[in-house]
Structures are given as C-alpha cells and as structure tokens.
Amino acid sequence: MTATFNALLKRAKRHAAYRRNLAQLNALNDATLRDLGLERSALDVLARKAAFEK
C-alpha cells in the first residue's frame, strides 16, 4: 500500500513541477523566447522533460 501511495505522491509532485515550469515558460515574452532559441509551441515538451525525465 505504501509503495502505491509513494508512487502517486511522486507523480503528483512531478505534475506540479510540470505545471510550474509551463507557467514560468509561458510568462516569457516572445522576444525572450527568441533570444533563448525557443518557440512557444515547444514549451509544453520542455516543461514535461524538465519535470518527468529526471
């Protein structure tokens, strides 16, 4: 039971990190994204990678 709970907790924390990352990336203006070499359409993928691929 605790293993299942721990797995759910870990997933919830990573999902919260994903949402936080996505919000921060979406807050950047287009000029800043361009300076970083990013396109707005790629932000979801970047936020997912940062949160889930650890």
User: Do 46 and 38 form a contact (C-beta atoms < 8 A)?
Assistant: yes
Predicted TM-score (pTM) of the model is 0.85
Query: How many structural domains comprise the chain?
Result: 1
Range of the domain at 8: 2-52
What is the model's pLDDT at position 54?
67
What is the model's pLDDT at position 1?
75
Cα torsion at 20, 45, 51, 36 (round to 10°)? -70
What is the model's pLDDT at position 48?
97
Tens-digit pLDDT profile for residues 1-54: 799 999 999 999 999 999 999 999 999 999 999 999 999 999 999 999 999 996
